[in-house]
């Protein structure tokens, strides 16, 4: 789904923006336009993420859950991470409400401090030359109406002073206090870490703000400088935050709760039932041909999921192939 140019841009500069086809986003946009508008939201909830984690995958809303496991998106991530074997780390649909006041508290999400995302997603420090994970924001509104595009700072080659590891010049890293709000964070750096303050000021000068229409996606890395910017007061910007990792990546945390936790009511089971083997593999359900499978295990999985449409045939075929080698 991606061009070489898009893959190279992501690898070298850390991010790129594209429009997703209607076939991927159309039904989710329709659902959102009916079900997630100003009259549906809690105006007090101004933080990142859906209130009470309500729209974290699995949501039980078919169009949203199917978008998260869309095979074209999976293919894009496979291309970026240069492996077929990937796992889902995060999928949350949330809305950001524009607020009028410029006086934000220290943890306000409205005008975010410049940051990288790796800090609360992995215990390790990322290596620019072997990325383990991909992040994405899908936008469901029009930035001409809402503003609030994510701002990011493309890396300009190996000598870029902003991208010399270790990446610790941000709130919450290496002993620095955590503030989400830009103004509060930069006041702290100005007073306590003037070199980092200077570097960080240059990031704000260099930032590019994503312009979006419904279905625009920003693919970015967990080690690119970026931040959320204010939404127009009284407007709502709805987005999906998604993230994936290589199956063999170490020390990454799942942002969402475990996929199985909402089982027993048929929604999780139906996702397993209607998904393809590739889609299931995002949830760590082994692919056909994986050494995990035995005839007994396939029979048991089929017994659990066949009433939800699960077809065990590809797994049985994979078993025959594995046995015959």
Ligand X SMILES: O=C(O)CCC(=O)C(=O)O
Binding residues for ligand X (CB under 6 A): 48, 96, 112, 117, 137, 150, 226-228
Q: Judged by CB, which is closer to ligand X: 137, or 199?
A: 137
The side-by-side arrangement of strands in the sheet containing 86-97 is 15-19, 216-220, 133-139, 236-246, 86-97
Total residues interacting with Fe ion, rule: CB under 5 A: 1
Contacts of 87 (CB under 8 A, 6+ apart): 244, 245, 246, 247, 281, 282, 283, 284
Select from 92, 111, 117, 132 the one that contacts Fe ion (CB under 5 A): 117
Residue 58, preceding bond cis, omega within 30 degrees?
A: yes
The distance of closest approach from Cβ of residue 218 to ligand X in the complex, given in angstroms and rounded to an integer, is: 8
Positive or negative: CA dihedral 156, 117, 211, 72? positive
Give the angle subtended at the CA of 78 by the CAs of 15 and 92, to the nearest 5°.
65
Q: Judged by CB, which is closer to ligand X: 117, or 269?
A: 117
Tell me which of ligand X, Fe ion, none is bound by residue 48, counting a contact when its beta carbon lies within the kind-specific cut-off of 5 to 8 angstroms.
Answer: ligand X
The distance of closest approach from Cβ of residue 117 to Fe ion in the complex, given in angstroms and rounded to an integer, is: 4
Buried b (16+ CB within 10 A) or exposed e, 128-151: beebbbbbbbbbbbebeebbbbbb
The distance of closest approach from Cβ of residue 153 to ligand X in the complex, given in angstroms and rounded to an integer, is: 12
* Contact status: 111 vs Fe ion (CB under 5 A): no
The distance of closest approach from Cβ of residue 87 to ligand X in the complex, given in angstroms and rounded to an integer, is: 20
Q: Applying CB under 5 A, which part among 101-109, 115-123, 184-192, 254-262 lies near Fe ion?
A: 115-123
Q: Which residues form the interface with Fe ion (CB under 5 A)?
A: 117
């Amino acid at each position: 789904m991606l061009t070489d140019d898009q893959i190279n841009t992501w690898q070298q500069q850390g991010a790129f923006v594209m429009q997703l086809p209607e076939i991927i986003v159309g039904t989710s946009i329709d659902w959102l336009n009916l079900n997630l508008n100003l009259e549906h939201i809690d105006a007090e909830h101004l933080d990142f993420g859906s209130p009470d984690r309500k729209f974290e995958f699995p949501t039980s809303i078919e169009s949203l859950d199917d978008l998260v496991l869309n095979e074209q998106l999976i293919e894009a991530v496979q291309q970026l991470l240069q492996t077929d074997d990937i796992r889902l780390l995060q999928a949350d649909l949330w809305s950001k409400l524009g607020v009028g006041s410029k006086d934000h508290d220290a943890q306000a999400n409205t005008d975010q401090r410049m940051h990288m995302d790796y800090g609360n997603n992995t215990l390790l420090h990322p290596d620019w030359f072997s990325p383990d994970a991909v992040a994405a924001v899908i936008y469901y509104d029009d930035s001409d109406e809402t503003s609030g595009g994510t701002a990011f700072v493309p890396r300009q080659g190996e000598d870029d002073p902003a991208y010399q590891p270790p990446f610790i010049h941000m709130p919450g890293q290496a002993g620095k206090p955590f503030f989400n709000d830009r103004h509060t964070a930069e006041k702290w750096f100005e007073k306590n870490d003037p070199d980092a303050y200077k570097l960080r000021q240059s990031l704000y000068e260099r930032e590019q703000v994503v312009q979006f229409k419904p279905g625009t996606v920003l693919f970015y890395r967990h080690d690119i400088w970026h931040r959320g910017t204010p939404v127009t007061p009284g407007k709502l910007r709805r987005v999906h935050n998604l993230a994936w990792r290589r199956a063999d990546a170490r020390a990454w945390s799942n942002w969402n709760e475990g996929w199985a936790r909402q089982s027993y009511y048929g929604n999780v089971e139906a996702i397993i039932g209607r998904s393809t083997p590739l889609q299931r593999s995002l949830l760590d359900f082994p692919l056909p041909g994986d050494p995990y499978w035995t005839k007994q295990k396939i029979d048991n999985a089929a017994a659990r999921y066949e009433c939800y449409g699960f077809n065990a045939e590809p797994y049985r075929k994979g078993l025959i192939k594995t046995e015959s080698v």
